[in-house]
Amino acid sequence: MTLLSVDNVDANHGLLRAVRGVSLTLDEGEVVALVGANGAGKTTLLRAISGAHRAGSGRITLDGVDVTDLPPHRRARMGIALVPEGRRLFAELTVEENLLVAARHARAGTWTVDAVMAAFPLLQPLRSKRASSLSGGEQQATAIGRSLMTNPRVLLLDEVSLGLAPQAVEAVYRSIETVIGAGATVLLVEQDLSRAMRVAHRLMCMLEGRVVLEGPAAGLTREQVTEAYFGLGRHVLAEST
């Protein structure tokens, strides 16, 4: 059944129309990957869903409840959790404090500090370390853990592998796959196409603010996605007119 539904949403940065009439639905337990070039509107779309960026028009519903006009902290309390690009930890707080801040207004659920430590074993020895002293991969694990502490119904992951060493990316994705294995509903933005196709059930490709390709991850070829990613077909069309 549909858990999150985005209906014809526009989101602008001033005059720039970053997201143009995007619609998507996310079923309970589904993992959808959002791919596309830089500036395609992926991050803005995730931010619009979380409420961090106000949608210009359109409707966003969570489990049938219209959240379009709710501020981000209300949406977080209802179960929409965004792991923001660049991790954005509370740098002066310890790892544990970062998690506890998120626990204060959490929905009822199974995620606790200990559960996060179990899912991200690399964090266990770092519990009382200041977040600013962690490596990129450790920070990313903390950021994901912090979002999980709200016991989200939908987890939005924005470029979790950005700026991480390959080994750290592996560690972070192993943990994400654990979370997905437990039945989480995830919408993730990922630059690494093969990783996106492996993790996700469904793939969506954005170009210049629009969804240009959508389909089950298993049913799409790399060529199809690459073409949509760079907008090759469209440009040929544009030149011929």
Please answer whether residues 23 and 6 qualify as being in contact, where contact means their C-beta atoms are separated by less than 8 angstroms.
yes
d(CA 40, CA 44): 9
Q: What beta strand segments (E) does 57-122 contain?
A: 57-62, 65-66, 80-83
Cβ closest to another protein, residue 104 vs residue 181: 104
Contacting residue, 13, 16, 57, 105, with another protein by CB under 8 A: 105
Does residue 165 touch another protein according to CB under 8 A? no
Query: Taking CB under 8 A as the criterion, which residues in 54-93 touch another protein?
Result: 71-73, 76-77, 81-82, 84, 88-93
Looking at 29-37, 48-56, 120-128, 185-193, which segment touches another protein (CB under 8 A)? 48-56
Cβ closest to another protein, residue 90 vs residue 230: 90
Amino acid at 211: V
Cβ closest to another protein, residue 80 vs residue 211: 80
**In Å, what is the CA distance from 49 to each residue of 21, 62, 233, 237, 238?**
13, 10, 29, 32, 31
d(CA 21, CA 19): 7
Does residue 100 touch another protein according to CB under 8 A? yes
Cβ closest to another protein, residue 93 vs residue 115: 93
Neighbours of 224 (CB within 10 A): 15
Q: What is the dihedral of CA 177, 181, 186, 190, to 10 degrees?
A: 20
Does residue 145 touch another protein according to CB under 8 A? no
Contacting residue, 15, 104, 219, 238, with another protein by CB under 8 A: 104
Looking at 2-10, 26-34, 101-109, 204-212, which segment touches another protein (CB under 8 A)? 101-109
Nearest approach, Cβ of 46 to another protein (angstroms)?
11
Binding site for another protein (CB under 8 A): 50-52, 71-73, 76-77, 81-82, 84, 88-93, 97-98, 100-102, 104-106, 146-147, 149-150
